[in-house]
């Protein structure tokens, strides 16, 4: 059995890894410059010669790319925008997430993503003998399907459980002797409540031994609390997103998430986009050194991390380790694992008509995130309940989340109210 999924790339001296990464990146950047109109314009406007990007000091000279940039680019030329770096006929998989935003892959790109996912789960501790219940969405968004392929690359038997249906998940664990899980933290808590209510002892009645959590912000003590409840099941994290899947993974030492050696990761100031001092908190900016169809160079994730640790871990891996996510920079937030884009909410409300300014109130009173959309009602309707249901249904279709709706009097929000009111204590 191999100790590391990616071999020596995980244990070589950091200076050698950085040299390899940037040599590969310079070649990749030159190719992207030739093939992607979006990046050619970005490089030219910044005055950056892609062939010189073998020098790490040159990278911060490039502007960051944000989710809003991608959404706007694709809106101007759907579905791929000007970022595309291959002929459309080479694309074999595309996902459509909130925004709307298309994420797309060539066969080679998809193979890289699946292998990166396998690296994450292998690092977490999954092995070929495991039976894994993947408890996340399998349709529309990049998530379940790629993870399914990744677990099977390791040799695991995968159950595509999907979201919801707590009782069926637990029944399946008992019937199929499930040993591993992937779950959002809040859904793992919901499953724990179900196990507790049924009087099931996780240690003696279940075969669970390892679980990957990701996709949501968590409190500082969440992992310790989860591990304590589930007994012998180790709870380990990964980090990534649709634009840059599988960036970091926690090993059995539990000392932070090791960075994927295929990515160049910076921690930057939220306003200047310049790197912060080593170990300081900041926003993660990620560069994929391989992806051709939908290149990601200096992608500004918006996720604020506690920082990076550069000491070698107890497992012998020499990649830096990142701490937990503290929150988001900007106006795009995650709710129940999905990004909520205020502009998309606005388009839904504009399509209904008779509605004014709005505010998104996010909270987590128990185990699950809640979203309340507060919106000024200028319609003059005599049936506010019907309008409320229309807004709720429109948003469920538009942003794929069920929301509570609060209709307000015209002018109630005022001119300076924040669009996002995130009340979760994380």
pLDDT in tens, 122-143: 999 999 999 999 999 899 888 8
Q: What burial class does residue 415 get, using C-beta atoms within 10 Å of its C-beta: 0-12 exposed, 13-18 middle, 19+ buried?
A: exposed
Residue 292 above 70 pLDDT?
A: yes
- Model confidence pLDDT, tens digit, residues 325-352: 877 776 677 787 777 877 788 888 888 8
Task: Give me the helices (H) in 198-311, please.
Answer: 202-205, 222-230
The DSSP code for 65 is B
The least confident of 38-52, 109-123, 363-377 is 363-377
- Model confidence pLDDT, tens digit, residues 162-214: 988 999 999 999 999 999 999 998 899 999 999 999 999 999 999 999 999 98
What mean pLDDT value characterizes the chain? 90
Task: Please tell me whether the overall predicted TM-score, pTM, comes out greater than 0.75 for this model.
Answer: yes
- Polymer length in residues for the chain: 426
pLDDT for 168 equals: 96
Gap between the terminal Cα atoms of the chain: 38
Residue 426 above 90 pLDDT?
A: no
pLDDT for 220 equals: 65
Q: Sign of the CA dihedral 288, 65, 110, 293?
A: negative
Short-list 88, 376, 369, 104, CA closest to 215: 369
Boundaries of every domain in the chain: 91-330, 338-422
Residue 1 above 60 pLDDT?
A: no
161 neighbors 208 (Cβ within 8 angstroms): no
pLDDT for 410 equals: 81
- Model confidence pLDDT, tens digit, residues 407-422: 888 878 767 677 888 8
Written out in words, the top-level CATH class of the domain with range 338-422 is: alpha beta
pLDDT for 364 equals: 83
pLDDT for 56 equals: 92
102 neighbors 74 (Cβ within 8 angstroms): yes
d(CA 77, CA 88): 13
For domain 91-330, give the fold. Answer: Rossmann fold (3.40.50)
As a whole-number percent, the residues of the chain with pLDDT over 90 amount to 60
- Model confidence pLDDT, tens digit, residues 293-321: 999 999 999 888 888 999 877 889 999 99
């Amino acid at each position: 059995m191999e100790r590391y999924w990616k071999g020596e790339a995980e244990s070589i001296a950091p200076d050698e890894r950085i040299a390899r990464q940037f040599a590969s990146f310079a070649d990749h950047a030159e190719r992207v410059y030739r093939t992607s109109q979006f990046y050619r314009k970005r490089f030219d406007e910044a005055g950056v010669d892609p062939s010189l990007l073998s020098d790490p000091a040159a990278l911060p000279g490039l502007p960051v790319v944000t989710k809003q940039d991608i959404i706007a680019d694709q809106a101007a030329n759907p579905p791929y925008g000007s970022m595309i770096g291959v002929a459309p006929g080479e694309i074999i998989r595309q996902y459509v997430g909130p925004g709307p935003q298309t994420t797309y892959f060539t066969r080679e790109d998809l193979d890289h993503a699946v292998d990166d996912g396998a690296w994450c789960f292998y690092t977490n501790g999954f092995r070929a003998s495991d039976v894994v219940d993947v408890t996340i969405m399998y349709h529309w968004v990049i998530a379940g399907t790629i993870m399914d392929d990744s677990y099977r690359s390791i040799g695991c038997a995968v159950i595509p459980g999907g979201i919801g249906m707590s009782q069926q998940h637990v029944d399946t664990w008992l019937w199929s002797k499930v040993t591993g899980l992937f779950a959002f933290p809040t859904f793992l808590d919901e499953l724990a409540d179900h196990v507790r209510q049924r009087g099931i002892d996780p240690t003696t009645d279940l075969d669970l031994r390892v679980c990957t959590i990701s996709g949501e912000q968590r409190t500082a003590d969440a992992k310790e609390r989860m591990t304590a409840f589930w007994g012998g099941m180790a709870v380990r994290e990964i980090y990534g997103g649709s634009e840059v899947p599988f960036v970091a993974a926690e090993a059995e030492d539990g000392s932070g998430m090791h960075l994927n050696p295929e990515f160049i990761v910076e921690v930057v100031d939220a306003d200047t986009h310049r790197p912060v001092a080593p170990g300081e908190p900041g926003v993660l900016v990620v560069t994929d050194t391989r992806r051709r169809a939908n290149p990601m160079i200096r992608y500004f994730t918006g996720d604020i991390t506690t920082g990076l640790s550069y000491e070698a871990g107890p497992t012998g891996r020499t990649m830096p380790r990142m701490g937990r996510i503290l929150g988001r920079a900007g106006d795009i937030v995650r709710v129940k694992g999905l990004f909520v884009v205020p502009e998309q909410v606005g388009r839904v409300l504009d399509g209904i008509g008779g509605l004014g300014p709005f505010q998104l109130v996010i909270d987590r009173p128990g185990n699950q995130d809640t979203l309340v959309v507060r919106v000024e009602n200028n319609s003059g309707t005599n049936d506010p309940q019907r309008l409320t249901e229309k807004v709720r249904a429109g948003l469920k279709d538009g942003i794929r989340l069920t929301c509570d709706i609060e209709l307000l009097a015209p002018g109630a929000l005022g001119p300076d109210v924040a669009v996002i009111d995130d009340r979760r204590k994380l």
